[in-house]
Amino acid sequence: MFKTWAECLPQNTEVCAVELPGHDRLFKEQPFIRLPPLIEAIADSIDQSLELPYVLFGHSMGALLAFELTRELRRRGAPEPAKLFVSAHRAPHLPDPRPKVAELSDADFIDELHRLQGTPPQTLENSDLMVLLLPLLRADFALCESYEYTQEVPLECPIVAFGGLDDNELKYQEVLSWGEHTTGKFHIYMMQGNHFFIHTAKKLILEVVSDELTMLKEANVGRA
């Protein structure tokens, strides 16, 4: 999904997508079902690559990963991102009011995927393909549903939060509450679309991210 983003962002911006075990080219690897070891693994893979200013962007589960990765990097003494973009996820200190779905029966689990509208119907109706995908999808749900927030001092980096106006899984106030996790600036953008507005509102999201990156670059030039 992020491979084409570089074409729409300011020059000299490198897009580095994180591939998780069990996903994409790492399909054969065992997926994580708990967040802390996954965060440590991601941090181990990138904490030597943070000499240049960087930002983090995460959508849905990725927003939680980006937030906890930022805190893990801070604990390791690495610089925080110049900006943290979080999309389609409630502020991490807020409890998830939804019933857990990771351990539902196959039929009920697939019904829930239909309701969320994030997986193409033709995929959900392909029984052979779902045999391969169900363990991965369950692992992703288990990872989020087992998450336990621990209180730390707020981040210093600015946070930009995105929400979907038609997202039945997320309320405006839950997106707004991300502002409690930074002592820096906070902006919130509500986009047209459901939980997966990152596809339908891609152009507008990239415009916002581009503007934010341009401001960061101009600020860095001004301090030089």
Angle (deg, nearest 10), helices 127-145 and 106-116: 80
- Listed in sequence order, the residues at least 6 apart from 213 whose beta carbon sits closer than 8 Å to its beta carbon are 9, 10, 13, 55
| Catalytic one of 60, 127, 146, 210 | 60
Contact between 162 and 172 under an 8 Å Cβ cutoff? The reply is no
Active site residue 60: yes
CB atoms within 10 A of CB 128: 6
- Rg of the Cα trace of the chain? 18
Q: Which residue has the tokens 């802390």?
A: 36
Active site residues: 60
